[in-house]
Amino acid sequence: MHSLATTCCLLFVAPIAAQEPEARRQAQPAQRLVLHVELLSPGAPVPRIADEHAPPALAKVRTWQGRKIAWRLDGAAITNQKDAAAALHRAATDPKNHRDSKHRPGTREPLPLRVEPADGLRWGEVLATYDMALAAGFEELQFEDVPTPWFVPRSVMEPILDDGVLVVPKVIYSEPDDRPEAGRPTFDVHQDGRIVHDEAVLFVWTAGKEDDLGALRKRLLELRQGLIADGRLRVRAYDGEKRLDMPLLVRADLWTEWRDVRRLLMLATSPEIGFWQLQAAGTEVEYEPKLRSGWRPPESTK
């Protein structure tokens, strides 16, 4: 586990308003950098655990082999992760990509970085890009259009659910989760897009059908009302907006598609719900290779 003092409460920069005349916007210096993460080859799915006696739920989950992704910061796509990390470091340390620091008066800091995952990107790949950006020196990130200024990966105590039905990704830059906030809600996002809270399935993705977010919205509104009753609706210091003063933990499988995690994040951070402190469940250990080699958790976790 690595932790940076400047990133323990990593800020996502809010989307930039586009109300100025085009000519004026083009004349102004860039206000952020954009990193596109592209899917070159989706690879082939194979069973996560090759065991003919595996329970049905475990037999359905997959791992992907032979996937190829690329990172495009400015110019050609970079297919080697080490080269992409080097390009991010060059961008983060280039003075022309710096601005006056919002948090340390009298100093300069890298421009915010917006990460744009392509269709088909998986959650583990998105968080691996997060690690690369932090290692490069970026301090403010935004994942696509998720409108929250606060995101913290947490190294959770239960990284494996139901013997491997859900396995969280490895995250290098994370905070320990040994003292979770009392009452913090946890939402699980499975490979098939299901969203679960307190063992209740609140959303099921169905190909070709419009998303039915009714049950998920209802649960989030119930959580909101309970937190308001507990006095947890408070004015956010940096912008004066009223938001819920309670983090929400997202526990997603490393092979869950980004679109399925984004679906939860967008609704939870919408004004009608009001969460803004997002936490992502991660782990210091890559558990999937251990599971595939025959290792099993000491006890089944739920």
Question: Looking at residue 149, what is its pLDDT?
Answer: 66
Question: Looking at residue 102, what is its pLDDT?
Answer: 83
Instruction: State the pLDDT confidence band at 298, using cuts at 50, 70 and 90.
Output: confident
Higher pLDDT, 12 or 167: 167
Is a pLDDT exceeding 70 seen at residue 26? no
- pTM of the entire structure? 0.89
Among 18-22, 171-175, 243-247, 296-300, the minimum mean pLDDT is found in 18-22
Q: In this prediction, what percent of the chain has a pLDDT beyond 90?
A: 80
Region 42-49: mean pLDDT is 96
Question: Looking at residue 289, what is its pLDDT?
Answer: 96
Question: Looking at residue 182, what is its pLDDT?
Answer: 95
Question: Looking at residue 30, what is its pLDDT?
Answer: 67
Instruction: State the pLDDT confidence band at 61, using cuts at 50, 70 and 90.
Output: very high
Instruction: State the pLDDT confidence band at 21, using cuts at 50, 70 and 90.
Output: very low
Region 158-182: mean pLDDT is 96
User: What is the DSSP secondary-structure string of the chain?
Assistant: -B--TTTTTBBPPPPPP--S-HHHHHHSPPS-EEEEEEEEE--EEEESS--TTS-HHHHH-EEEES-EEEEESSSS-B--HHHHHHHHHHHHH-GGGEEE-SSSTT-EEEPPEEEEEPTT-BHHHHHHHHHHHHHHT--BEEETT---S-EEEEE-S--EEGGGTEEPPB-SB-EE-SSPPTT--EEEE-TTS-EEETTEEEE---TTS----HHHHHHHHHHHHHHHHTT-EEE-TTT--EEESS-EEEEE-TTSBHHHHHHHHHHHTSTTT----EEEEEBSS-HHHHHHTT---SS---
